[in-house]
Amino acid sequence: MINTSALRAKPTLTGERVHLVPLGPEHTDAYFSAGLDTEVRRLTGTHRHLTYAEAREWCATRAGRTDRLDLAIIAPKDGRYLGELSIYAVAAENESAGYRIALSAIEFTGQGLGREATQLVLEYAFESIGLHRVWLYVYAFNMRAIAVYRSCGFAVEGRLRDSLLWEGRRHDALLMGVLRSGLRRT
Ligand SMILES: CC(C)(COP(=O)(O)OP(=O)(O)OC[C@H]1O[C@@H](n2cnc3c(N)ncnc32)[C@H](O)[C@@H]1OP(=O)(O)O)[C@@H](O)C(=O)NCCC(=O)NCCS
């Protein structure tokens, strides 16, 4: 069984170039603004526009959720909000969970921040929460994300054909998964 107290306790995870801190009310403005970024919306296949009230509600309720973990990605040097990630859909009996991450703007991508954040949270997921398996969905066109997930140990496990309809074109999604024994630290 997993260690549910590690899921309830919202940790701060400290890396060299990113800190992961509990997503909370203080992140509402940045979380809402990230939802407006057109390229991030395309990469994550986000059709729906979040209202400010929904963003506020989301950030305000993360600390109280005992069944998932939502962390903000913060720059250590100036505290700038860089994005957020989640361990969600936790199936305690199966010791498995889903993972998602989105840096909040394209200017933050391609600098190794997403990989470091992913490695930090996967270590916590496997070693502290005690998960055995973490899975995710990624669109087949998102080569940067796929490269990062592979480098952390994720392997492609399946293809969901025509999952996304975006501006008149259909795109496949890939199911990727990593087992505790397969985690790679670079
Ligand atoms: C996906 C995401 C978390 C990756 O984090 P990141 O900090 O941008 O990525 P990193 O800089 O750590 O690594 C990028 C890697 O992808 C590789 N890459 C970039 N573009 C690529 C491409 N077109 N084809 C293949 N590899 C590519 C880079 O070479 C680099 O690998 P390397 O360090 O081995 O050279 C981040 O870009 C992000 O949040 N993007 C916006 C939202 C999103 O796509 N979320 C994921 C939804 S599933």
Q: Give 40-92 pLDDT, tens digit per residue.
A: 999 999 999 999 999 999 999 999 999 999 999 999 999 999 999 999 999 99
Question: Model's pTM, two decimal places?
Answer: 0.97
Beginning with the edge strand found earlier in the chain, give each strand of the sheet holding 69-74 in spatial order.
Answer: 13-14, 19-22, 69-74, 81-91, 96-103, 133-139, 169-179, 155-166
For residue 111, the CA-to-ligand 1 centroid distance in Å is 8
- CATH number of the structural domain spanning residue 106: 3.40.630.30
Pocket of ligand 1, beta carbon within 6 A: 40, 43-44, 83, 101-103, 109-115, 138, 142-145, 147-148, 151
Instruction: Count how many domains the chain has.
Output: 1
CB burial of 58-75 (b: ≥16 within 10 Å; e: otherwise) equals: bbeebeeeeeebbbbbbe
Dump pLDDT digits (tens) for 126-153.
Answer: 999 999 999 999 999 999 999 999 999 9
Domain that residue 15 falls in: 4-182
pLDDT band at 1 (very low <50, low <70, confident <90, very high): confident
Residue 172 has pLDDT above 80, yes or no: yes
Q: Is 159 exposed, middle or buried (0-12, 13-18, 19+ CB in 10 A)?
A: exposed
Nearest residue by C-alpha to atom 8 in ligand 1: 109
